[in-house]
Structure 1
């Protein structure tokens, strides 16, 4: 149980970090969300829906991290931070 919680937390942090850097480099705040949706579609086609509960949990947390990084970049741009404009 502890291992699942640590893995879930790690997936959330890594997806937020990678998404934040990707959004910052491309100057478009939805880049990581678009990449996640493409990755999700690829996974669904590849495994043909044969995912277990832990797999769904990891995909859900990856989505949360990806969309959170997009919203963070958008908020920083709206507040006028020069690095993100």
Structure 2
């Protein structure tokens, strides 16, 4: 069950980050949003997260930052949709 949730978190964060980066024309906007979300979560719970929560946060970070690098790669290769 945790593996399915982890895969879903990765896919959703990549998709949402990709759309956010594409709409804002700033290739790192999903990373900035994730850092803000991470700081908010840490302030709210006080850092007392369990292992599953850390794994999910790590996968969401990976999805957010990989979508940023995917947009940057598409822009650098000249895809007009992303310029």
Give the TM-score category using the shorter length.
over 0.9
- Identify the residue that residue 77 of structure 1 maps to in structure 2: 75
Flag as ranges the 4+ runs of structure 1 deviating above 3 A: none
Number of residue pairs the alignment of both structures matches: 83
Q: Cα RMSD (Å) of the superposition? A: 0.3
C-alpha displacement at 1:32, in angstroms? 0.2
Stretches of structure 1 that go unaligned for 5 or more consecutive residues are none
- Identify the residue that residue 62 of structure 1 maps to in structure 2: 60
The secondary structure found in structure 2 opposite 1:51 is coil
Deviations 1:45-83 (A, max 9, x none): 000011000000000000000000000000000000000
